[in-house]
Structure 1
Amino acid sequence: MTTVSPAAEHAANEAFAELLFTPEGRIDPHARYRRLREAAPVHRSTLGTWVVSRYDDANAALRAKRVGKDVHTFMAGRFTGEWERHPALVKLGSTMLWANPPEHTRLRRIVNRAFTSKRVLAHRAFIERRAGELLEPIVRDGGGDICNDFCFPLPLSVVAGLLGVPQEEAPLLREPIRDFQRVFELGMTASELRAADRAADFLDDYYGDLVTRKHRSRGDDLLSALIDTDDEDARLSRAELVQMCHMIIAAGSETTTFFLTNGIRLFIENPDQADLVRGDPALVGPAIDEVLRMDPPAHMVPRTTDETTVIGGVAIPAGARLMVLIAGANRDPAHFTDPDRFDVTRAESGPISFGAGIHACPGWRLAKLQAEVVFPEVLRRFPRLELAEPLRHRPRVAFPQVEAMAVREGKGRAA
């Protein structure tokens, strides 16, 4: 088994602490991921959480049968041991995201049957039309907040249409979703938890009413399909349908917002790569994968061990909490040449930004489809896109993002 020296342990603990608790760590997490990989790639932090940061180890952890998701193990000792008193945390633990086989197998089978590539691709025309509507005022004004006025409302509109949420009601979900999403962060304040609890109650009420409406009148949408889907003579219960609605809307809007915003920022920061994509439509697909590799929407995902599991030569005991650093794995130099360089012509290992194994993101097709529409259109409409003001980073670790991203059409670049 691999052993770690005290000096390496100290270096890894220092990097992880900076990542979680300092502004510098949140602004530049990749420097801390690199230090973790180099010092102790499979590391038990002083918080008691095991941290996995290399590509092969992360991939193995996400696929291992002995590694699952036990919400009781992960929440043990957190929130003064009373996490089940909070609606937001109970809601988090009751979704498919925290289910294990055989229950996860049943739920995932139903979702996959309804969330088909045919159903997703049928929304391309809507994505193109809605993207044009949202982008037009930004183009007309020569710039604007492309994060909040484009990259957020577009995915929310798209996933709302897919699920069956009326378009006029979709904006009501924006702030509750953002308040609830803080439950994925390792550090929540008491006030943030109260806001997440209120959001969870609101979302349960809204989706419960939506399920009732769809029971009365079906439509050509995913929720209607989920209501009518039989799986071994068993249908989703009302509570399961409500949780499915929440999971699909929240995951399909927030994470895609981060994905699109990160991609546009990377093109701004690397104008030579933007020009390559403008000049060769065949590079759109590789460019999407490179955006996902460089800055995935989720930087880390939680897991727990059911039995003692060896990862990267280190024995992790049963009942342990794991944090798999997807963003760190995606820049592992063992798999990616010059990993901190944005290269839309890269032809190496695929990123694991949508996860791997049985818990891989079921909505990856929809997210990529939006990027296929958005990136070429933004690059076409803004030949000299640039930032109009410095970025302001949100204090997040699992889902890093910016508060806003003001852009404008530049006056040209030096030859």
Structure 2
Amino acid sequence: MTRQAVVPAADDTNTADAAFASILFSPEGNQNPYPYYHTLRESSPVHQSILGMWVVTRYDDVLSTLRDKTIGKNVERFMQGRFGGDWWSHAALRRMGTSLLWANPPMHTRLRRLANQSFTAAVVAAQRERIVRLLDDLLDPIAEAGGGDIVNDVAYPLPLSVVATLLGMPLEDAPLMREPMRNFQRTFELGLTAQELAAADVGAQFSDDYFTEMIERKRREPGDDLASSLIQVSDADGEALSPIELVGVCNMIIGAGFETTTHTLGNGLRALLKNPDQMSLLRARPELLEGAVEEVLRYDAPVQMAPRMLDEPRVIGGVEIPAPAQLMLAIGAANYDPTHFTEPDEFRITRDESPAISFGAGIHTCLGWRLAKLQAEVFYSTLLRRFPQMELAVEPVYRPRATLRGLESLHISVTNS
């Protein structure tokens, strides 16, 4: 399937403004932002939008900015600009202020180092068998019924169960986190409403209370899990994570560890179903699985935009940007840059080109990227093994989101092996 790019006039700021507004606010942009990314990148690749932020869309510019240690995240200024001086009164926004996701060095360096001690490649690899068992159990009802909603019945509970039990939550508690975390994640969207912020506050308070109690319990009775390990680890100076930091890391691991993986699984399966030649190729050549996951991440990334803040003037992509300034790095646009990806609108699992930027880059590279890729590999290979025929039963619809891109549902019909 090919998405047709909109070809604008060169250096057309009005066209770029319209394209960015469509990505953020229009139903068409929510369902398919990629033609608008092409328009934005081709008309004004480093563009100050009508909202004030600078939108960066070319692969090289996005990647170099993500890797630049001098370009950080100023949560105070970002939140002040979006929500005003009382932003700290909201539980959901307070979490941003103490989160590893928004921290800069040296705080980020310390938190990341401590978290990495308990989130190693070996820990992730050890999850494979459990992922396989969980996935087979979730797919049994789909197989028996001859189809079902893969997103809500499989792609949500699988990563949520994996990351919750890895953290040390009882498996039966995992579903409790779905709606609170989904509501909290809405704060990443630029079009957040007052009602959505209120729901995000409730969700944030629920998970804060849950993890505060869980951490107290694990201090008394530590287990063989990530939360217990995080409580016990310390850095070179012997300084452990504080109670607030522990709650923040637990929230980050749950929030970032399940919903973006859910979207990777759902978006990727949709791409395979919409491109049956590629699905057939993957069936015939399972050794292409790793490359297929990489193409899924490029073609329909679960995270489409990443904010950064400039405290000093900077030239990006030949454009001088004054300070202070807010940057919005358009990962979705960078992953479709034709200078790095031949025929970027084509879904092609045999690509051997630049790596996708979907997990970020630099010091803020996604902490759980190994676990997300492992789950994707098990998910696609298991579906292809169990179901020799898979078809869309209903045309899927994306959630009305611009930053975290994922499907509302994905109903398929299957034939069992």
> Which category describes the TM-score, using the shorter chain as reference length?
over 0.9
Superposed CA deviations along residues 142-190 of structure 1, whole A, max 9, x for unmatched, are 1000000000000001001111111011111111011111000001111
Residue of structure 1 aligned with 2:314, choices 305, 309, 312: 309
Q: Is the 8 A contact 2:10 2:42 kept in 1?
A: no
Which residue identity does 1:248 align to in structure 2? I
Residue of structure 1 aligned with 2:215, choices 186, 211, 214: 211
- How much has 1:277 moved relative to structure 2? 1.0
1:266 aligned residue: 271
2:15 is equivalent to residue 11 of structure 1: yes
- How much has 1:66 moved relative to structure 2? 2.4
Residue of structure 1 aligned with 2:51, choices 47, 65, 70: 47
Q: How does 1:149-298 map to 2 (within 5 A)?
A: 149-231=153-235, 232-298=237-303
- How much has 1:76 moved relative to structure 2? 2.7
Percent identity at matched positions?
55
Superposed CA deviations along residues 84-141 of structure 1, whole A, max 9, x for unmatched, are 2211111122100000000000001111111100111111110000000001110111
Which residue identity does 2:93 align to in structure 1? L
Deviates more, 1:314-323 or 1:253-262: 314-323
Deviates more, 1:254-263 or 1:385-394: 385-394
2:5 aligned residue: none
- How much has 1:311 moved relative to structure 2? 1.0
Q: Is the 8 A contact 1:278 1:379 kept in 2?
A: yes
Equivalent-residue separation in structure 1 for 2:72 and 2:341 (angstroms): 28
Which residue identity does 1:53 align to in structure 2? T
Superposed CA deviations along residues 237-267 of structure 1, whole A, max 9, x for unmatched, are 0110000000000100000000000111111
Q: How does 1:119-158 map to 2 (within 5 A)?
A: 119-158=123-162
2:63 aligned residue: 59
- How much has 1:6 moved relative to structure 2? 9.7
SS state of the match for residue 308, structure 2? strand
Equivalent-residue separation in structure 1 for 2:286 and 2:22 (angstroms): 40
2:348 aligned residue: 343
- How much has 1:7 moved relative to structure 2? 5.6
Superposed CA deviations along residues 354-382 of structure 1, whole A, max 9, x for unmatched, are 00000010100000110111101112222
Q: Is the 8 A contact 2:10 2:43 kept in 1?
A: no
SS state of the match for residue 408, structure 2? strand
SS state of the match for residue 208, structure 1? helix
> Runs of 4 or more off by more than 3 Å in structure 1?
none
SS state of the match for residue 393, structure 1? coil
Equivalent-residue separation in structure 1 for 2:344 and 2:81 (angstroms): 37
Residue of structure 2 aligned with 1:299, choices 304, 307, 311: 304
2:73 is equivalent to residue 69 of structure 1: yes
1:113 aligned residue: 117
Superposed CA deviations along residues 40-91 of structure 1, whole A, max 9, x for unmatched, are 1111101001101110000011011221011112123322443222111111
Superposed CA deviations along residues 291-341 of structure 1, whole A, max 9, x for unmatched, are 000011101111111211211111222221111111110010000001011
- Check 1:220–1:22 CA distance in 2 against 1; reply closer, same or farther (3 A cut): same
Q: Which runs of 5+ in 2 are unaligned?
A: 1-8
Which residue identity does 1:108 align to in structure 2? R
Q: Is the 8 A contact 1:8 1:40 kept in 2?
A: yes
Deviates more, 1:76-85 or 1:314-323: 76-85
Residue of structure 1 aligned with 2:360, choices 355, 360, 379: 355
Which residue identity does 1:128 align to in structure 2? V
Equivalent-residue separation in structure 2 for 1:135 and 1:238 (angstroms): 38
Equivalent-residue separation in structure 2 for 1:250 and 1:7 (angstroms): 39
Superposed CA deviations along residues 257-294 of structure 1, whole A, max 9, x for unmatched, are 00000111111011111111111121000000000000
Equivalent-residue separation in structure 1 for 2:404 and 2:268 (angstroms): 15
2:30 is equivalent to residue 20 of structure 1: no
2:111 is equivalent to residue 100 of structure 1: no
SS state of the match for residue 171, structure 2? coil
Q: TM-score, normalised by structure 2?
A: 0.95
Which residue identity does 1:102 align to in structure 2? P
Q: How does 1:351-390 map to 2 (within 5 A)?
A: 351-390=356-395
Equivalent-residue separation in structure 2 for 1:324 and 1:17 (angstroms): 15
Aligned-residue Cα RMSD (Å) equals 1.4
Equivalent-residue separation in structure 2 for 1:405 and 1:140 (angstroms): 17
Equivalent-residue separation in structure 2 for 1:93 and 1:131 (angstroms): 35
SS state of the match for residue 294, structure 2? helix
Equivalent-residue separation in structure 2 for 1:173 and 1:408 (angstroms): 29
Q: Is the 8 A contact 1:92 1:183 kept in 2?
A: no
Equivalent-residue separation in structure 2 for 1:293 and 1:107 (angstroms): 29
Equivalent-residue separation in structure 1 for 2:85 and 2:273 (angstroms): 45
